[in-house]
Amino acid sequence: MPTKYKLTYFNGRGRAELSRMIFNAAGVKFEDDRVEFSQWPQLKAGTPQGSLPVLEIDGKKRICQSFAVARYLGREFKLYGKGNSEMVMVDQILDTLLDMFTPYVTIAFGKDSEEEKKKKFEEFDTNTLPTVLGNIEKLVAETGKKGFAVGDSLTVADLALYVYLENCNALTKVPKDKYPGIASSLETTAKQPKVAAYLKTRQQTPF
């Protein structure tokens, strides 16, 4: 019997989209369980850490923390690099993306006025984004080949670059002359047949 996966999250890309992309890139079926905000107060206490996403495996084992879930799936489906030296490159790219996503979420979901948020997003685009892209570009230059971020085949690093740049409204803010490795990874990832099919048919949500 194939393993039964259920991924529970809200109806948005957010912190679950990387795992959804991994399932789709690997061609592995899963239940894409999306809960309404109105259901959440009743469900919260029953989750391992009071937060989503949660991955349930065969109706028993439950895993929380979005990056732990993505890493688990990436390793299960052989999308996490070949050997420890590629795996640590994938890890570094994922953790560097958090250096960008964490401040972005703080602005987007913070209590500032719209005017204040606009200023903070400008500051994000001027400082945070180029710093993170510069750091990731150096990592990609170390081991990326054939348009992939790490090694010579698709990994969770490529999928995470696509998902988290999209989440930070930055997919179009990666000029090829400045960040050739990242720009190539984004292009190569979107062209993978299973990923392309998913991107075409997935639910469209604002976040």
Ligand X SMILES: N[C@@H](CCC(=O)N[C@@H](CS)C(=O)NCC(=O)O)C(=O)O
Which residues in this chain contact ligand X in the complex, by CB under 6 A?
14-15, 44, 50-53, 65-67
- Beta carbon nearer to ligand X, 77 or 207: 207
- Beta carbon nearer to ligand X, 8 or 185: 8
- Beta carbon nearer to ligand X, 27 or 110: 110
Q: Closest distance between ligand X and the C-beta of residue 96, in Å?
A: 15
Q: Closest distance between ligand X and the C-beta of residue 56, in Å?
A: 14
Q: Closest distance between ligand X and the C-beta of residue 146, in Å?
A: 30
- Beta carbon nearer to ligand X, 101 or 179: 101
Q: Closest distance between ligand X and the C-beta of residue 191, in Å?
A: 28
Q: How far apart are CA 14 and CA 7, in angstroms?
A: 13
Identify the CA nearest to 149 among candidates 117, 58, 138. Answer: 138
